[in-house]
Amino acid sequence: MNYPSYRVGDFYWDETNNILWCCKAAGYSKNSGQSPTALWAPCGGIPWQNPKELDPTENVAANTFVYLSPHSPLVTTGLVDLVLGTLTLARPGIWQAVQAVPKQTLAGAYNVPQVPLPGAGSAPSGSPLKGDADGPNVFWILWCPTVYC
């Protein structure tokens, strides 16, 4: 293992206290080049929708985290996706809105959280490099599927 094994920007989820911790500083110990040091702090400014369960009848601001339980109607019955135009089921887990997500339309269509990302499949290109998650039709990024959380 190379030290330090964590770097600034690394994070971990504390399941006991429901806190996302971020590595704010990392480096080598003054006493030993083999002992890593780090400063961990709760990640600030990570907004959760309140309540946390995603409600498609409400607007979701960019960068907001939501939870989709395995029994959510978005997971079990789905909605018509505004981009695909077809009935789409969401995957349960923790999702982050990468742009503002408007509430579902009167006809019941919505920007459904989905994997693969809409428009996925193209090789990253350009300068700066842009990939699947940078497309204009991407509204949600899956952070952690329920099975693994």
Residue reference for tokens 């994997």: 115
Instruction: Read off the pLDDT of each residue in 127-137 and give the average, rounded to a whole number.
Output: 86
In which band, very low, low, confident or very high, does the pLDDT at 2 lie, cut at 50, 70 and 90? very low
Identify the pLDDT of residue 144: 82
pLDDT at 149 > cutoff 50: no
Identify the pLDDT of residue 31: 57
User: Longest C-alpha distance within the chain, in Å?
Assistant: 65
In which band, very low, low, confident or very high, does the pLDDT at 3 lie, cut at 50, 70 and 90? very low
Buried b (16+ CB within 10 A) or exposed e, 124-149: eeeeeeeebeebeebbbebeeeeeee
- Higher local confidence (pLDDT), 18 or 34: 18
pLDDT, tens digit (0-9, with 9 covering 90-100), for 10-32: 777 777 666 777 777 776 555 55
pLDDT, tens digit (0-9, with 9 covering 90-100), for 68-127: 999 999 999 999 999 999 999 999 999 999 999 999 999 999 999 999 888 777 788 888
